[in-house]
Every structure is written in structure tokens, then in C-alpha cells.
Amino acid sequence: MAISGKLRSYMDRCGTRFDELMHEPAAEMARVAQAAHIPGKRVAKAVLVQAGDQYMLAVLPASKHVSFNFLQQWLARDVSLAEEHTTAALFPDCELGAIPPVGAAYGLKTILDDDMLSDGDVWFEGGDHNTLIHMDADNWRRLQKGAGHFAFAI
């Protein structure tokens, strides 16, 4: 597998420039960052959550965890981790656990942790456990146009 077709198409439509980096398979983004000598705060991970009756992506640094309490307060509704079968259905061209942190490519609302809005480069999984995508902050922000943001990671 490689970069998901939906993600690649969306990045092309947005006119973003990026690099693809192959790496040894790893199930956790924090381990990928460590192996590639990339600060975990610069590696974006996506967590599919259910907020009321809507699914959305929470995007945060790989070195942090989602605070569901913060998300619930900000969204003013119950928020929980989506079930694995839902993730597989919404991201059919991705390996489980390697969903890209770009909800718009899949028709999903995206919420960014404020830490993902800095001016540094960003790395993230492209749909499999072997490919990292790297881009500068301007291209990252172009991909995330329309995403909400606040501090929800701990």
C-alpha cells in the first residue's frame, strides 16, 4: 500500500507540495517519529471520534493524547472514540491505525489541537504504516482550511 488515493487526490486539488518518506512499519506514530528522529510534536496523528451523531477527526501531535473532557466541553456534546469497524468503513483505502489527519479528504470535519498550528514542518501517515508524508507549515495549513481548532491535547 502507499498514500491513500483519496488523500493524494485531495492534496493535488489543494495544490500542496509534499515529500513521501518510507519507513519501517510501526503501529504508533510516536514510535515512527522516534525512529525517524522527528520531534513527536511535529508529527500529526488523527483520532476518529464520534461527537453526538457526527464523526470527526481530532488531529494532535503524536506525543500527546486526546482529552475527551476538553472535546466534550468545546463541542457541547458527548464525545467518544469511534469503533474500529466505523474507522474501516470511513477510511476504506487506509490500513487500520494509519488514517491521515486530513478529514476534508474523506468528507469529515477536522478539529486541530492548537499545537498543530505552529510554523514548523509537519509529518503524518498517508494511509499505511510504511509511508510518512512531510510538508511545510504553509502546505499543512492549506490542507486544513476550514478546520476548527483549540487546545484539547494533554
> Phi and psi of 137, rounded to 5°?
-60, -35
The pLDDT, as a whole number, for residue 24 is 72
pTM: predicted TM-score of the whole model, two decimal places: 0.91
Q: Are strands 148-150 and 79-81 parallel, antiparallel or unpaired?
A: unpaired
Identity at 71, one-letter amino acid code = L
Tell me the pLDDT tens digit for each residue of 75-115: 999 999 999 999 999 999 999 889 999 999 999 999 999 99
pLDDT, mean over the chain: 91
Q: Are strands 122-125 and 148-150 parallel, antiparallel or unpaired?
A: unpaired
Short-list 154, 40, 48, 51, CA closest to 101:
48
Domains of the chain listed by start with CATH number:
5-150 (3.90.960.10)
Tell me the pLDDT tens digit for each residue of 133-154: 999 999 999 999 999 999 999 9
Q: How far apart are CA 150 and CA 7, in angstroms?
A: 24
The pLDDT, as a whole number, for residue 29 is 66
